[in-house]
Amino acid sequence: MQAAFVVDDFGRQPYIQLMKKWKVGVVGYGFISGKGHIPAFAQREDVDVVAIADICPERLALAQAALPGVRAYASYQELLAQEADLDILDIATPPCDHAEIAVAALARGLHVLCEKPLATSTEEARQMLTAAEKAKRVLFPCHNYKHAPVVKVIQDAIDSGRLGEITSVTLQTFRNTHAKGVKEWRTDWRRDRRTSGGGIAMDHGSHTFYLTYAWLQALPISLTAKAVRLAPQWDTEDNLTVTLEFPGQKFAHAHLSWTAGMRKVIYTVQGTKGGIVVNDDEAEISVGFPNTGSHSGTADHTVEKFTIESDWMDASHTKWFNSMFDKFLKAITTNDFVNAEIRESYACVEVIEKCYRSSEEGARELKLACDFAR
């Protein structure tokens, strides 16, 4: 706890409030932690980043320069061994190491924030959720796309009931390349299966899939997928097309590409009373086109168009981070160890894993268990 002077809503009478200062250790000082997490932590009064570990000496030196006084370690093991006083470990390494680091941190009694994808297999993801349950510590994923301003507007429109029952969604993510990691380490690790666990499905699939769960308010029951590798020099796919079936004959269709001619997201949501289309910051909500299939009822429709700055071009997504981190803190303060978000994260890993299997088997339809998630 630390005492903080707080000014009231009218700017008067400072009073003293006891505020918990969370002591955070960060593993991996690469793009997302250097440009996203740590700048976002710097905006908070309730977080102190006290320790950093990175296996790349140049990155560790950059971390020390950016955070004077931070204790720096050459491995997560050293950090966990030396830092007796931490509350939270923030994991921002490539996916192949998420499970090992998270399980060790949970066993040490730390709450864990973990970048997506949670893990590179359901087996690893299961070990992580089981470790959180056993340690009675929160494991929480960085599902930051839910916190993009325009995505919040979609969710509010769905939750308001204006669109009726949501029956189908489409999510298209276009990139002209894979995201690059920092140049001091291995900038193309996302195309190396041993490190990434897979290509665009593993790298970006989580964002797509947890949004489908939120918009269709359920977990999928089956899928059929096709993964394609256009760039022959890598061992990972750069395009994925997948159809997810949800209970009640509802569907999500997603296409993700690293070989597109632009950087953009295009999302649509269709309900029994209306629909939404989002093209980056531009959104359009139509209400009054009942989708009965009878082509009737279009007389009283309304179409609302608006722009919501959501910083899609800034891949660090710093501005979305703190709203997500607040949810993580809420899970900690309510002892919600194996929370809904981490269960969804597990379901994302299962969907990704089954996308690969479906594609290998000629886009065969596969049933989903999502057993830790339901």
Ligand X SMILES: NC(=O)c1ccc[n+]([C@@H]2O[C@H](COP(=O)([O-])OP(=O)(O)OC[C@H]3O[C@@H](n4cnc5c(N)ncnc54)[C@H](O)[C@@H]3O)[C@@H](O)[C@H]2O)c1
The residues binding ligand X (CB under 6 A) are: 27-32, 53-56, 59, 76, 92-95, 97, 115-116, 142, 144, 179, 181-182, 185, 189, 203, 315, 317
> Residue 145 CB, nearest distance to ligand X (Å)?
7
Q: Which helix (H) or strand (E) holds 102?
A: helix 98-107
| Residues 267/154, Cβ–Cβ less than 8 Å | yes
**How many other C-beta atoms lie within 10 A of the C-beta of residue 52?**
28
DSSP for 34-86, please give it.
Answer: IIIIHHHHHT-SSEEEEEEE-SSHHHHHHHHHHSTT-EEESSHHHHHHH-TT-
Give the separation between CA 275 and CA 169, rounded to whole angstroms. 9
Give me the phi and psi of 222, to 5 degrees please.
Answer: -160, 165
> Residue 93 CB, nearest distance to ligand X (Å)?
4
Distance of CA 49 to the CA centre of its chain: 21
Q: Quick one: 136 or 194, whose CB is closer to ligand X?
A: 194
Q: Quick one: 27 or 214, whose CB is closer to ligand X?
A: 27
> Residue 325 CB, nearest distance to ligand X (Å)?
12
- What tokens does 133 get? 């349950």
Q: Quick one: 172 or 286, whose CB is closer to ligand X?
A: 172
Closest CA to 200 of 171, 229, 225: 229
Q: Quick one: 204 or 343, whose CB is closer to ligand X?
A: 204
Residue of closest CB approach to ligand X: 30
> Residue 162 CB, nearest distance to ligand X (Å)?
29
Distance of CA 251 to the CA centre of its chain: 21
> Residue 66 CB, nearest distance to ligand X (Å)?
12
Closest CA to 346 of 324, 316, 365, 368: 368
Closest CA to 257 of 295, 293, 203: 203
Q: Quick one: 21 or 108, whose CB is closer to ligand X?
A: 108
Q: Quick one: 75 or 302, whose CB is closer to ligand X?
A: 75
> Residue 365 CB, nearest distance to ligand X (Å)?
28
> Residue 143 CB, nearest distance to ligand X (Å)?
8
Q: Quick one: 185 or 267, whose CB is closer to ligand X?
A: 185
3-state secondary structure 31-47: HHHHHHHHHHHHCCCCE
CA distances 371 to 2, 50, 343, 367, Å, are: 41, 37, 9, 12
Q: Quick one: 87 or 203, whose CB is closer to ligand X?
A: 203
> Residue 344 CB, nearest distance to ligand X (Å)?
14
Give the separation between CA 284 and CA 282, rounded to whole angstroms. 7
Give the separation between CA 186 and CA 42, rounded to whole angstroms. 27
> Residue 57 CB, nearest distance to ligand X (Å)?
9
With a CB cutoff of 8 Å and minimum separation 6, the contacts of 362 are none
Q: Quick one: 131 or 285, whose CB is closer to ligand X?
A: 131
